[in-house]
Structure 1
Amino acid sequence: MVSTPAPTVAVIGAGIAGLACASRLAAAGMTPVVFDKSRGLGGRIATRRGPDGLTFDHGAQFATARGPAFSAYMRGAVAGGAAADWDLPDATRGERRYVGTPGMSSLVRPLAEGLEIRGQHTLTKIERTQDGWQLAFALVGETMVADRVALCLPAPQVAALTQDFPQAAAALASVDIAPCWAVMIAFEDPPLPGTLPDAGPQAGGPIAWMATEGTKPARDAGPARLVLHASPGWSRANLERPAEDAARLLLDALKGLSKGPLPAISHVAAHRWRYAKTQVPLGRPFLDIADGMLLAGGDWCLGARVECGFDSGVSLADRILRDIG
């Protein structure tokens, strides 16, 4: 008796949606291959390392768990030391807020265990052939043929790769994802108590969110550090500014919020998240582009929360597993 090899599944994107998809496929006995343009994991669930080992969670700030699947995952992540509760002064909604430990990107670490993940692979073209889906990657000059492909990328990037599928283009055009400028700041000395507003959402103005890195569990003592997130409107209006200009303008906005002079700044850097926060989601867990053979998903399918990306990835995997039975 000749055994039939399991279909090859390529998962594009090592954010939480891609890793949740690949992890579920692997648990079912498949061997998916995950590709990502960067070296690290997590996508916008990100931790950046600055000079002298300084760390900043400059992407997603925390996760909440409302459904049973993600709640179970977060319980396991906390038990395994990959995540912990973060108590914020504005936590009035009664939801537990989780962060990765020792950095936000650690939150996805359990999903990546045992997976084949190839970093620095930017997908530039996908083409249907008689053998399956041929994938071409920039720089590495590598190609791969896969039976099925899950595109766990922002909706505009999915649209650019699937222009030969007009029905998918129409669905993707309905999704709106706002950008976000993030600014990372380290002070030479801690700000005086009461100088800055409490960490959390900021009402009005260019700054929509402010986090004090030292308030998060399992962070190194280090210098006092802040992460600022600009509002969607401000980020759209200033999207193409040089990073230095964006940092300067948001620092000026921070000074406007402070109730006294700020300490000297030892480090400042800005990062532009071009696709950061879903404003109008697709409205379903994933997009089936080609009869279950080419699919797309991410938080943009369901909403702006980390859990939305996880749920989309799980749904993608379940769609693939349904076909191969």
Structure 2
Amino acid sequence: MKFKTWIAATAGALAITLGGSAAAAFPDQPLRFVVGFPPGGSTDIVARVLAEGLSRELGQPVVVENKAGAGGTIGASTVAHAKPDGYTIFLGTVATNVINPLLRKELNFDPIKGFTMIGEVGFYTNLVLVNADSKYRDLGALIADAKQRQLSYSSPGAGTSPHMTGEYFKILTGSKMQHIPFSGSGPALTALMGSHVDLGFDNLPAALSLVQAGKVRALAITSTTRIKELPDVPTAEELGVKNMSVDAWVSVMGPAGIPADRLSVLSSALLKALAQPDIVRKLEDKAITIKATRPEELQDYVESETRKWRGVIETAGIKPE
């Protein structure tokens, strides 16, 4: 009986040990990486590169899933209401978790409390763009005309960083401009190339190849300094638009309530992925400035960005809809 008791106790202990190991074996299945915008845009580009690096670190496929619409809030809502088991993550941006929530009266998720912050990925600048055949050869000519008559400008969607860049530009220059939102950078840039709008604001990663190919022209960038990818394109501030400094950031988040041990795994994987030489090269080739941070740093940053953009929106007189 004693021997049987020992066997039973040993088996029980082994089961507990194995059960604990199984519970700790995260992840043991593919992850879903939700992007709130269509394929081909800046966030999609970043997500697909990042998914490659995360897959290596986590030992599981990381599958990008585009849930586009409503300025990225459909994707954000999908993740905010997902099971917080660490298997659904989100490419959170200034648009999805700051600007759009400030522009909408009703959301079915909290843009900060509804998410577990995993870490920042990096940021990129925006561009002031015109058609290759546009009569506007420089930013000064465009501003002068926009003060006399209303121009139309495209963006990847209402509430996106390029949209707010356009509104901020309009305030700072005293221009008359009508916003024409599209569902992503692809359609917005196609409209610009087809001369369906007078100018456009878009993210550097999405527009860079078109600028380099001469299909659209960049009149200015919204960073405080020139960038190596387009060294001949001046900053808006250089051209007299004071305080015109806007960068679009991207990050990785999950639904609120991800267990601490799984969050630690995801955070560590993100930091390691952003240190992989080929991932660094691919992101930098797409004009992404890497800024890898930990969960608590991202939390503080999103809160500070919310305060900043709330002020811009109030100054612009934009009312939530």
TM-score by length of 1: 0.31
Q: Relative CO higher for 1 or 2, CA cutoff 8 Å, sep ≥ 6?
A: 2
The structure whose residues are more often helix, as a share, is 2
Bigger CA radius of gyration: 2
